[in-house]
């Protein structure tokens, strides 16, 4: 079992809906990440939080809004998504939030999102 | 930025044979190289990693080698089993500053192990 827990596992929503994805880790990690993964492709970085502050936004459209309420939780708020946003959304965490390269990132099993 | 190339894109082996997946990277500043295994319906699972001050690392049937001069690293799986079937991703990371240890992934290798 993964130590990064994501809910829900599956989500189907219409283009006008508002929903949120949740991620939780209890490893004491100080960096948390959101990735988007399309079928048969590697994960693409969306956001990085370091010590609960947004550090990297990879030019993600504003219909995706991340939030880090505390060091263990990470949310991704979704609004007015497009069909091309259908994908697997992965959360990851790593121990150090200070930019050290050699801190392993641990992934959750993702939320499979389908936009109707 | 960093560019990671991964080959082959698909690999089929007989159970018990060895499998080798190769990756190259472009930025000599990269200093951390993890390998992930992703099974269907799951997230990527870290299976082994290597740091730039080490040339080889082994964990049971899995080994990784790193050649900094040539800027390539490889994953070796011996005595393959059907449960090794999955997509494998290599990655490279450059630490510090604005990169915040971000991972640059290869395109993935679909490994199939036939019984």
Q: Can you tell me the distance from the alpha carbon of B43 to that of A53, in angstroms, rounded to the nearest whole number?
A: 24
Q: What is the Rg, in whole angstroms, of the alpha carbon atoms belonging to chain B?
A: 14
pLDDT score, position B96: 58
**B3 Cβ under 8 Å from any chain A Cβ:** no
Chain B positions in Cβ-Cβ contact with residue A42 (cut-off 8 Å): 89, 105-108
Q: Are B50 and B73 in contact (CB under 8 A)?
A: yes
Instruction: Report how far apart, in Å, the C-alpha atoms of B64 and of each of A28, B50, B59 are.
Output: 28, 7, 9
CB A54, CB A71: distance < 8 Å: no
- In chain A, the residue whose alpha carbon lies closest to the alpha carbon of B86 is A40
Question: Residues of B with CB below 8 A from A32's CB?
Answer: none
Which tokens belong to B32? 């951390």
- A56 contacts on B by Cβ (under 8 Å): 98, 100, 102
Close Cβ partners of A60 (under 8 Å, ≥ 6 residues apart): A46, A47
Q: Containing H/E element for A69?
A: strand A64-70
Q: Which of B43, B46, B94 sits opposite A90 (nearest CB)?
A: B43
Which residues, other chains included, contact A98 with Cβ-Cβ below 8 Å and sequence gap of 6+? A30, A50
> Is the Cβ of B33 closer than 8 Å to some Cβ of chain A?
no
- The pLDDT of A54-77, averaged and rounded, is 95
Q: What is the number of residues in chain A? A: 116
A79/chain B closest Cα distance in angstroms: 24
Q: With 70 as the cut, is the pLDDT of residue A1 above it?
A: no
Q: Residues B64-90: pLDDT tens digits? A: 999 999 999 999 999 999 999 999 999
Phi, psi for B8 (deg, rounded to 5): -85, 175
Q: For residue A2, give the nearest of A116, A100, A91 by alpha carbon.
A: A91
pLDDT for the residue numbered B33: 94
Q: Residue B105: closest CA among chain A residues belongs to which residue? A: A42
Torsion angles phi and psi, residue B38, rounded to 5 = -125, 115
> Which one of A43, A96, A97 has the shortest CB-CB distance to B44?
A43
pLDDT in tens, chain B (115 residues): 889 999 999 999 999 999 999 999 999 989 899 999 999 999 999 999 999 888 999 999 999 999 999 999 999 999 999 999 999 999 999 865 555 678 999 999 999 999 9
């Amino acid at each position: 079992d993964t130590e990064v827990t994501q809910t829900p596992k599956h989500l189907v929503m219409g283009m006008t809906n508002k929903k949120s994805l949740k991620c939780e880790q209890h490893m004491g990690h100080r960096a948390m990440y959101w990735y988007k993964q399309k079928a048969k492709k590697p994960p693409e970085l969306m956001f990085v939080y370091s010590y609960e502050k947004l550090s990297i936004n990879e030019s993600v459209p504003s219909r995706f809004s991340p939030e880090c309420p505390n060091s263990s939780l990470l949310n991704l708020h979704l609004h007015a998504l497009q069909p091309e946003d259908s994908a697997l959304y992965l959360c990851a965490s790593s121990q150090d939030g200070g930019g050290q390269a050699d801190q392993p990132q641990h992934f959750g099993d993702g939320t499979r999102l389908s936009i109707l | 930025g960093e560019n990671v190339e991964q080959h082959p894109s698909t690999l089929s082996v007989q159970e018990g044979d060895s499998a080798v997946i190769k990756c190259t990277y472009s930025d000599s500043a990269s200093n951390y190289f993890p390998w992930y295994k992703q099974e269907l319906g799951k997230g990527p699972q870290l299976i082994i990693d290597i740091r730039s001050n080490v040339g080889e690392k082994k964990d049971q049937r899995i080994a990784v080698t790193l050649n900094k001069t040539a800027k390539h690293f490889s994953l070796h799986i011996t005595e393959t089993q059907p449960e090794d079937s999955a997509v494998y991703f290599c990655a490279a990371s450059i630490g510090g500053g604005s990169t915040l240890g971000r991972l640059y992934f290869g395109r993935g290798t679909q490994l199939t192990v036939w019984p």
